[in-house]
Structures are given as structure tokens and as C-alpha cells.
Amino acid sequence: MTLGSVLALGLGASVAGATQAGAHRPTARELEQLDFDNLVAATNDVQTQALASGALQNGPRYLSPAKLLLASVDALTKLAITDDPSGAPTDTRAIMGPVPTPIARHLRKRPHHLHIVRTRTLTPFVAAIPDGGSRGLGHNRRHDGAKPAPYQTPDGIGVDPQLEPVQPATIGLVALRSAIEELGQPYVWAAAGPSTFDCSGLVQWAYAHAGIALAHHAATQWNEGRLIPGRDILPGDLIMFGHPIFHVGMYLGSGWMINAPYTGQYVNIVPVPKRVAGVVRP
């Protein structure tokens, strides 16, 4: 498996297991550059979709990539729910763009969650809930044959971006903003902030800042929201992977998601990988 395919997957494999014998092991600087390149590509795609759908009238070029990404996501979300005050829009493709193939493939196969009748993601944000986070195993502890990534130096754009509050905001937008603020923080298995994260820990951290308490376990998060068709996907929805569920990311738009991928990597933005099990809206 090539490095590019492993990084595109963004799933639970370690860097040690991903590199073939004799293959180049990526340096922290190379991983940082790849993460930043993905951030810029995602920002361009989401902004293009926001402009094409009329959610944005102009592209503010003066913003950093992370700020522009959040502005575009904000605009797309607000346009999608404008005509549906109930917060339950259907078939958002005219606004959000085509559904990524890995998600569209599961439209007819997804199981139903009959016991979940409503969600809160699209309702107005009121207040966060306390979430001190957990440092997990610590960033010097080995897991799955590889050490977690070292801390990157904050650059104000790709790492520790400083984002303005979204006003007025839905719960999902506040959660996404909280996740984007953690770009570049190292993955640590069993961690949920404040400075290290695993996949479900990042989701738990983000939604706690938006007022929703989720479990620190991807398989449990599968049951903490309503399963929705991929054609209805919106920013902030959870993309679930595996049978049984073993990984989760948060959808941004235009086929991109943010996640804490695996040991040796950072919180980053990647194209929606294959192996999608379903889409959950908390």
C-alpha cells in the first residue's frame, strides 16, 4: 500500500504498518506539508461549491485557508436549512454538490435507527457543556507499533488556526469550528483533548463545545444520532467506517472530512475514504 493511499484512507492503520520494507518513512515535516496541502484543496473545493450554489456571493481571498473553509461551510449550511426551519432538510445535493461515491453507495444498504426520532445538530447553538478532555496515553506512549506524532509548531493557519465565532450558529457549525481549531494536533489513542485526540475523542470534544454530550467510542456514537441518507448530508454530520464501526470523521463538504486518523498522524482534512458504513447526525 502506498503512502498516498494510506493517508487518503485516514483509518486506523499505524504508520509503521503502512510503510513497506524499504519504503520512505514520511518525516513530520512531510506529513505537515501534506496536511496543509489537503487543507488548501478542501478549502478551494468547498468555497467553489458555496459560490456555485449561491451560498457565497464573493470569495474573500484575504482569509487564511482555515477561516475561508469555515466561512464556506457556514454559508452552505445556512442555505441548506433556510427553507426548512424544522432543521430536517432533504436532498441537499443541489446546495452541497454531488454525494461522494463511498457515501452514495450505501444509500440503500444502511440499517435504520428506529429508536432515534430527532437530532439536534441543526438547531441553534445555545451553550456548550463542560469538557475537560483527556490526555489519553500521552504523546510519548507507543501504540500499535508506532509513536504518536510530535507536536507541530503553530503557524496560525494549518496548525492551531485562530477562527472567529460563527454567528448565528447551529450546533453542527460550532462543533465543526471546534474540530477545525484542532488541526495539526497529534493523534493519541484514547485521547479526547485538550491537545491530543483519537477519532472519537475529536468528535466528542467538538460536540461537547457545541452542547451535545457524546460517548468517547465510535461504535457508540453510531447509536447517538439518526442515520440519514447520503443525499441529505450536511457539514458536521458524522461519517462512520467499518463493520463493526471502528472510525469516525466529521463531514465538511465537497467530499472532504476532518478526522484524527491514526498513530503517527495529526488531526487533518482528507477526502472521504472508502469503507463508509453510514452517515449519522447527532
Contact between 221 and 208 (Cβ < 8 Å) = no
Give the range among 4-18, 59-73, 242-256 with minimum mean pLDDT: 4-18
* Helices first, then strands: H and E counts in the chain: 9, 6
User: What is the CB neighbour count within 10 angstroms for residue 126?
Assistant: 10
Would you state the pLDDT for residue 248? 97
Query: How confident is the model at residue 185, as a pLDDT?
Result: 87
How far is residue 124's CA from residue 59's CA, in Å, rounded to a whole number? 25
Supply the CATH classification number for the domain 3-281.
Answer: 3.90.1720.10
Mean pLDDT within 136-161: 66
Average pLDDT of every residue of the chain? 81
For the chain, the domains span 3-281
DSSP for residue 187? B
> Considering just the CA atoms, what is the radius of gyration of the chain in Å?
17
pTM for the model:
0.86
Listed residue (69, 259, 132, 263) closest to 183, CA to CA:
259
**pLDDT for residue 107:** 57
